[in-house]
A and B are shown apart, each in its own frame.
Chain A
Amino acid sequence: MIEFRSVTKQFPDGTVAVKSFDLVIPPRKTTVLVGSSGCGKTTLLRMINRMIDPTSGSILIDGEDTSTLAPVKLRRRIGYVMQNSGLLPHRKVIDNVATVPILNGVPKKEARAHALDLLDTVGLDRSLADKYPRQLSGGQQQRVGVARGLAADPNILLMDEPFGAVDPIVRAELQQETIRLQDGLGKTVVFVTHDIDEAFLLGHQVVILQKGGHIAQVGTPAEILANPADDFVASFVGADKGKRVLRIERVDGQDVVVDENGTPTGVLRP
């Protein structure tokens, strides 16, 4: 469990990225922080592994205040996946994946053997192990990034818009892969995105953020769709424009579900 307790972050240039932010992130579930750029979502994520320290307030992981923990050690037990993969260009795929275990003191041979298994886990061919990151496609690099994030078997996995830079088809693939992985591994995932569809797809808990890290609404995707807290949320999820409204039409004795444009999307079964 990760807990934000009235966390405020003001940067040296005066910008207040996050103001008295409170949130409980449940364990073994995916929590998605979603909002437009400048809502402080990346700042919130980076405060969890102390890449950024809060100006005031505290962050607790399983009841332990992170400000009492050494940042480097803390980061080694939290997985981190970022946009554009952030792979080390001078290290082979296998060494990129094995980085954190080796930093943790696992013998090189063991770490590399485990890294090969992880390539299987994220659906990559083992033949890619000896390639350098730039020899891989964007989607493959992102998978390596996920494998690296999982390598030290962390309880917590932070994902900062990990699929923002890949094309829509690959993104859809990676999203399904993330759901599959999460079902199998049961990590506490904190996922940052600006894409509400991605948030609804991946999140058990979705946190919709406004400027300054102000929480507009927290809930399951169904709760948010059923009862948008305010006009901002309604417009953010697209409910105000009739998007996400489905109707039932009776055709030949069957209940056919149609979307806002009248396009059939499926058949209703009891």
Chain B
Amino acid sequence: MKWVGSNLDLVWELIVAHVGLSVPPIIIGFLLSIPLGWVANRFRISRGVILLVLGLLYTIPSLPLFIFMPLILGTNQLSSANVVVGLTIYAIALMVRSSADGLASVDDDILQAASAMGYSAWQRFWRVELPLSGPVLLAGLRVVSASTVSLATIGSVIGVTSLGYLFINGFQRNIPAEVITGIVATLLVAVVFDLLLVLLGRVLLPWNARDRTSSRQARRQAVLLAEGVS
């Protein structure tokens, strides 16, 4: 605790850098995975191919990927873009299956009904299919968020500042408190992200929330009916 107390500024600075490094890949990965998931579902062959190939991207070890990024992107060795792009690739690899599954999870009866009412294909996608795949998308996004926050620590190995700095520095200088602080801070960031996503889900998907009052009411009504009161 003494180490944390005297290095609060450093820890805070690293947390901010870590958040800055993790948020863009989560958002970009999410946005890109939706059209990919849609294409995957569109044709029978594309589903297998896209999900397999993109899924395999997750098996690329992160350190070499980050190291090779400058060669592929033509960026500076120390640029944070290397890590952001790398993390985006992992985010897509994880997210594309969720987005394909989410879009496929929408009940066909509901889609038929939407068409029958006169939604055009475009309107039906944005106003019916996408919102209704929300719960599955959110579940996938929570995994992506945890994975990205954790992988972002590797960035420090190639000189892109993140909470990983505390692992490396603490290990090299043999300060266990610093390493533990790094782990706890990373966990904290991951937990806060997760809570924010859950909150976002509550706001954007109010219809999905299990509301206890209505099920309690339904139970009470059932009891009343059974007793022949109502």
Contact = CB atoms under 8 A, between A and B. Distances in A.
Contacts, number: 59
Contact of A75 (B118, B128, B205): B118
Interface residues on A, range: 20 to 34
Name the residue among A73, A90, A134, A158 with the largest chain B CB count within 10 angstroms. Answer: A90
Interface string A79-111: 010101011111100000001100110000000
Contact of B112 (A51, A132, A134, A135): A51
B110 A72 contact: no
For A88, A99, A100, A134, the residue with the greatest tally of chain B CB atoms inside 10 Å of its CB is: A88
A49 interface: yes
A5 interface: no
A99 B117 contact: yes
B120 interface: yes
Contacts of B110: 86-89
A187 interface: no
Chain B interface helix/strand/loop/mixed = helix
A76 interface: yes
B112 A90 contact: no
A41 interface: no
Q: Chain A CB within 10 Å — which of B128, B207, B208 has the most?
A: B207
B117 A90 contact: no
B113 interface: yes
B222 to A, nearest CB: 11
A9 interface: no
A100 B131 contact: no
A148 interface: yes
B132 interface: yes
B117 A76 contact: yes
Nearest to A73: B118
Nearest to A85: B113
B71 to A, nearest CB: 45
A42 to B, nearest CB: 11
Contact of A132 (B116, B120, B207): B207
A104 B211 CA distance: 33
A72 B123 CA distance: 11
A148 B134 CA distance: 24
A89 B160 CA distance: 45
A51 B116 contact: yes
B132 A90 contact: yes
Given A51-B112, A86-B110, A103-B123, 6 more contacts: A82-B112, A86-B112, A89-B207, A90-B207, A103-B118, A158-B116
Interface of B: 109-110, 112-120, 123, 128, 131-132, 134, 205, 207-208, 211, 214
10 contacts: A51-B112, A72-B120, A75-B115, A86-B113, A88-B110, A90-B132, A90-B134, A90-B208, A103-B117, A148-B117
Chain A to chain B: the 9 pairs with minimum beta-carbon distance, closest first:
A86-B113, A76-B118, A80-B116, A75-B118, A90-B207, A132-B207, A135-B214, A72-B120, A90-B131
